[in-house]
């Protein structure tokens, strides 16, 4: 949604009017005051779910002034000047090693340091959701249930739905060896992208960040994780957002569902649009770090290029097609109907996948490693030259719209 810099004052007033009208709809919808069905009944939505193409409402409706989008007035940048502030690199979050616990029934659980539901530590990660335990406990939806949401004191502590349908697929085969405990939450006081810009309001930006307990707030920039083929991962996403959905700064929904963009994971761990979870809960996402065609090509894992670094100069060879090796990925909120708003608010992070050919080590020469410029201090994952960026494409000499 853009306006050229040479737009007339009358054109800017028209665009401002359209923005205010649209803003009221976004705010009411995000806070649950109206529904999509209401918008359809009022004639503001088309049958395809698009906002009615009407000047003064839709940013894509043309006006009599010019054949261009009825977009957004130019946004002030304050005193910010180009090339005056060092680029904010993403916050690297190291993995937490997990250990395996075999239960008497044969189920495997991944134990976080100081785990134990009754002991006050982090609950173990397991194949079936803790929602299953909550539902079967005789205390029901009472505060004495040890599996209850610790913040709202109603409903389960894990947001993943119960039962086999949302059980982690091939859990033992791709058992997680490391974990990341992240959170969605309010941004910390003083958060800003540039020193000359004003501070962000706590609920205008909801970044992902390392979870250190409920009630903590997130720092900016957002996280960067490192994964490697052959090492399964649990990404535990805590919902540390306000319980009141109207406390959202006017846009976004406090019910995340995380999608790992283009990664090969089971549906239960891939941000199903209606598998969102509520404030006070966590959701365990199982990322198997598998190659495409795992069951069809290189099944005996003899192809050295289909591999990940073992951390000691060697390789972890895995089944699958080495031509499908991935490198720079991102994961983000996937909440049905609120994906764009929540991603605007910062509910995203990045992941680098390292492999035998792309090890992130420029000196190790084994005939597989491509030795791309990266550094050599670490066995894999050096970032001397790699700078992870979120880049938004926008028209030249135009401005980006963010809710005011």
Beta bridge partner(s), residue 226 = 352
pLDDT at position 321 is 97
Helix/strand/coil for 308: strand
Q: Do 355 and 366 form a contact (C-beta atoms < 8 A)?
A: no
Helix/strand/coil for 84: coil
Q: What are the 10-residue block averages of pLDDT along the chain, 404 residues in total? A: 63 72 78 77 60 56 47 57 86 95 96 62 94 96 95 96 95 97 94 86 93 90 96 97 93 94 92 90 96 96 97 96 96 90 92 97 96 96 92 54 50
Task: Give me the residue spans of the domains in the chain.
Answer: 1-82
Residue with tokens 């409706």: 61
Measured CA to CA, the distance from residue 283 to residue 69 in angstroms comes to 40
pTM of the model: 0.84
Residue with tokens 């940013």: 59
pLDDT at position 397 is 47
Q: Hey, what are 190's tokens?
A: 């003083």
Beta bridge partner(s), residue 350 = 224, 330
Measured CA to CA, the distance from residue 399 to residue 404 in angstroms comes to 13
Task: Find all residues with CB under 8 Å of 83, minimum gap 6, and list them.
Answer: none
pLDDT at position 398 is 45
- Calculate the CA 273 to chain-centre distance: 13
Identify the helix (H) or strand (E) that includes residue 9. helix 9-30
Instruction: Label the pairing between strands 232-240 and 176-185.
Output: parallel
**pLDDT tens per residue, range 205-214:** 999 999 999 9
**pLDDT tens per residue, range 52-109:** 556 666 544 555 444 444 344 455 566 677 788 888 899 999 999 999 999 999 999 9
Q: Hey, what are 249's tokens?
A: 């700064």
């Amino acid at each position: 949604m853009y306006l050229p810099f040479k737009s007339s004052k009358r054109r800017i007033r028209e665009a401002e009017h359209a923005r205010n009208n649209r803003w009221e709809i976004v705010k009411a919808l995000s806070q649950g005051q109206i529904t999509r069905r209401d918008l359809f009944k009022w004639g503001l939505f088309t049958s395809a779910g698009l906002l009615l193409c009407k000047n003064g409402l839709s940013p894509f409706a043309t006006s009599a002034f010019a054949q261009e989008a009825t977009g957004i007035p130019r946004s002030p940048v304050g005193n910010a000047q180009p090339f005056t502030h060092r680029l904010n690199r993403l916050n690297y979050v190291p993995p937490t090693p997990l250990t395996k616990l075999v239960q008497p029934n044969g189920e495997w659980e991944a134990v976080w340091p100081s785990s134990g539901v009754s002991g006050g530590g982090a609950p173990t990660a397991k194949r079936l959701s803790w929602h299953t335990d909550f539902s079967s406990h005789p205390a029901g939806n009472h505060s004495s249930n040890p599996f209850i949401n610790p913040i709202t004191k109603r409903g389960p502590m894990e947001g993943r739905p119960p039962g086999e349908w949302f059980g982690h697929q091939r859990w033992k085969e791709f058992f997680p060896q490391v974990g990341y405990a992240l959170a969605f939450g309010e941004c910390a006081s003083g958060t800003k992208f540039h020193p000359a810009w004003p501070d962000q309001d706590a609920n205008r930006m909801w970044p992902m960040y390392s979870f250190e307990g409920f009630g903590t707030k997130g720092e900016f920039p957002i996280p960067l994780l490192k994964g490697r083929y052959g090492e399964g991962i649990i990404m535990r996403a805590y919902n540390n957002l306000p319980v009141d959905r109207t406390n959202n700064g006017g846009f976004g929904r406090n019910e995340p569902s995380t999608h790992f963009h283009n990664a090969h994971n089971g549906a239960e761990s891939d941000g199903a649009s209606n598998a969102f979870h509520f404030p006070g809960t966590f959701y365990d996402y199982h990322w198997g770090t598998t190659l495409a065609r795992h069951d069809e090509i290189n099944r005996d894992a003899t192809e050295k290029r289909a591999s990940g670094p073992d951390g000691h100069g060697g390789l972890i060879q895995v089944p699958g097609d080495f031509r499908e090796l991935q490198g720079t990925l991102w994961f983000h909120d996937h909440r049905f109907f609120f994906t764009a708003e929540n991603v605007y608010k910062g509910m995203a992070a990045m992941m680098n996948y390292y492999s035998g050919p792309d090890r992130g080590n420029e000196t190790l020469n084994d005939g597989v490693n491509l030795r791309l410029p990266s550094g050599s201090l670490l066995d894999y994952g050096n970032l001397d030259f790699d700078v992870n960026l979120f880049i938004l494409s926008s028209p030249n000499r135009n401005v980006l719209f963010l809710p005011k």
